[in-house]
Amino acid sequence: MATCPRCKGHLTDGHRCPRRPAIVALEIAASGVAGGLASLLLLGLFDPHGETQMDALAVSIGALAAIGINRLVRS
């Protein structure tokens, strides 16, 4: 069987080279930042006076949810 000249994997009809680790890490970080900002925006819309101290919790939950959704869609 032929091998791919770029990644040295089996060259089948549906072959796609795996993404570089740096690109994957950048994609995960970008989705985490976007999810954190979106959750902070939603928290600001629903709690405009800042009566609760849930900023860090909202940002971390939003970031984790965005990363999970991104990984689910990409697989």
Name the more confident of 31 and 20: 31
Percentage, residues of the chain above pLDDT 90 = 33
pLDDT at residue number 33? 94
Q: Supply φ then ψ for residue 3, to 5 degrees.
A: -115, 150
Distance CA(48)–CA(16), nearest Å, equals 47
Closest CA to 33 of 2, 7, 59, 71: 59
Going by C-beta distance under 8 Å and a sequence separation of 6 or more, which residues neighbour residue 2?
10, 11
19-42: average pLDDT: 91
Residue 15 near residue 6, CB atoms below 8 Å: no
